[in-house]
Amino acid sequence: MSPLLEVSDLRVEFSTEDGIVHAVDGISYAADTGRTLCIVGESGSGKSVTSLTTLGLTRGRNTRVSGKIEFDGRDLLTLSGDEMRSIRGNDIAMIFQDPLSSLHPFYKVGAQLIEAIRVHRSVSRSSARDRSVELLTMVGIPDPQRRVDQYPHEFSGGMRQRVMIAMALANEPKLLIADEPTTALDVTVQAQILELLQELQHRLGMAIILITHDLGVVAEFADEIAVMYAGRIVERGSAEQIFFSPQHPYTWGLLKSIPRLDTPREGELVPISGRPPSLIQRPSGCFFHPRCPYVRDEHKRIDPSLSDVAGEPGHEAACLLPTELRSRIWRGLAAGETPAELRRLVVEDGQTVPVSGRRPLSQEEGS
């Protein structure tokens, strides 16, 4: 059986005054009922554009989209605007990052929920209202009978995000896309919202695509993880594979650059040097090579493709270093060695022309 959503070789390009922005560059992934796929990456890595394209929200004169997005047996990219509208908010729903700007300030929360229901169902206003109250109860808003007649500004940030979730779930979607749903919230509220999403997924059995940059959230939430960098997926695998045997230097960088509560406090953070590349003038070869501490000369020419990691079914990475060497480097990193020290492994392994060493930590970003 084919998965609920299957994206293959999706490319999204925007033409701008400065040139063509290759926002998404040939990515493929799948999401299935009852499972959670997390897409991780920095700003500008193309993770939001991917999901907006799935919802048909990037259609415009300056946009070129190619590839396939198969949902429930239909290719979403070939659907007309009207057909797309009947899917959006119905079969596929989305939760946005900022709950304040995604709710209309002039309309009561109830009116907005009723609209979401009545766009897709021919039900009376009063039964839609009953359904709204039911939805607000489901997402844990106290006193829903009264709250349904209030305006968004009368809700706190966490409560607004609950309203957004209620609205997204109004028509029991098969797929829920959550784009940084907790980034604007406090940790205690974030924990509440994530718990709620998990419980609802359990109850309604939908597929969730969660887009985030917070690796902690990913670790607690994901079944599968896709790591995006500069418009491409550079590594993909199950949560365990990504966290316990990551294969791509960018993933290592992400895992090592965050302070965490479960490791000794004294450890220095190892930042990723440099900054994300421009998506107009992209680097040659491996897109990560200008920031990669383990770069070899040929990596500047050869463009790696996503390929299977030997011995780990379902785990793929786009890196030109030999698998055996990669696992040695990760073991070293995990044991607390720095990338500068571990570069010696790459050099010893052969054919490398040493790069002029890494500059001191504080001078790494930019220019």
Could you say which residues in the range 14-43 bind other proteins, by CB under 8 A? 42-43
User: From CA 5, how far away is CA 33, in angstroms rounded?
Assistant: 9
User: From CA 284, how far away is CA 286, in angstroms rounded?
Assistant: 6
- Cβ–Cβ < 8 Å for 47, 228: yes
Choosing from 156, 284, 305, 307, the residue that interacts with other proteins (CB under 8 A) is 156
- Cβ–Cβ < 8 Å for 317, 235: yes
Q: Which amino acid is at 251?
A: T
Choosing from 24, 113, 215, 286, the residue that interacts with other proteins (CB under 8 A) is 215
Q: Is 331 a binder of other proteins (CB under 8 A)?
A: yes
Choosing from 157, 290, 303, 349, the residue that interacts with other proteins (CB under 8 A) is 157
Strands 207-212 and 175-179: parallel
- Judged by CB under 8 A, the stretch of 13-21, 25-33, 169-177, 210-218 that binds other proteins is 210-218
User: From CA 272, how far away is CA 259, in angstroms rounded?
Assistant: 13
Q: Is 71 a binder of other proteins (CB under 8 A)?
A: no
Nearer to other proteins, 132 or 241 (CB): 241
Q: Is 178 a binder of other proteins (CB under 8 A)?
A: no
* Neighbouring C-beta atoms of residue 108, cutoff 10 Å: 17
Nearer to other proteins, 96 or 330 (CB): 330
Choosing from 222, 317, 321, 329, the residue that interacts with other proteins (CB under 8 A) is 222
Choosing from 195, 297, 308, 341, the residue that interacts with other proteins (CB under 8 A) is 195
Q: Is 357 a binder of other proteins (CB under 8 A)?
A: no
8 to 2, 270, 345: CA distances (angstroms): 13, 34, 36
Residue 319, both tokens: 């890196």
User: From CA 91, how far away is CA 63, in angstroms rounded?
Assistant: 24
Min dist. Cβ of residue 253 to other proteins (A): 6
Tallying the residues shown for the chain, one arrives at 367
Q: Is 254 a binder of other proteins (CB under 8 A)?
A: yes
Q: Is 262 a binder of other proteins (CB under 8 A)?
A: yes
- Output the CA torsion sign for 237, 206, 41, 25: positive
Long-range contacts of 117-122 (CB under 8 A, 24+ apart): 117/170, 117/171, 119/89, 120/86, 120/89, 120/90, 120/171, 121/171
User: From CA 293, how far away is CA 270, in angstroms rounded?
Assistant: 11
- Judged by CB under 8 A, the stretch of 68-76, 172-180, 207-215, 307-315 that binds other proteins is 207-215
- With residue 200 as reference, give the H or E element that holds it: helix 187-204
Q: Is 364 a binder of other proteins (CB under 8 A)?
A: yes
Q: Which amino acid is at 204?
A: L
Helix axes 323-334, 249-257, angle to 10 degrees: 10
Nearer to other proteins, 114 or 185 (CB): 185
Choosing from 82, 268, 324, 348, the residue that interacts with other proteins (CB under 8 A) is 268
Could you say which residues in the range 272-291 bind other proteins, by CB under 8 A? 272, 275-276
Nearer to other proteins, 26 or 140 (CB): 140
Tell me which residue of 214, 217, 250 sits closest to 232, measured CA to CA.
250
- Cβ–Cβ < 8 Å for 237, 315: yes
Q: Is 314 a binder of other proteins (CB under 8 A)?
A: no
Q: Is 81 a binder of other proteins (CB under 8 A)?
A: no
- Judged by CB under 8 A, the stretch of 55-63, 102-110, 261-269, 298-306 that binds other proteins is 261-269
Min dist. Cβ of residue 333 to other proteins (A): 8
Q: Is 151 a binder of other proteins (CB under 8 A)?
A: no
- Judged by CB under 8 A, the stretch of 27-35, 129-137, 146-154, 252-260 that binds other proteins is 252-260
User: From CA 335, how far away is CA 341, in angstroms rounded?
Assistant: 12
Contact residues for other proteins, defined by CB under 8 A? 42-43, 142, 156-159, 186-192, 194-195, 198, 213-220, 222, 239-240, 243-244, 253-255, 257-263, 265, 268-272, 275-276, 330-331, 333-335, 361-367
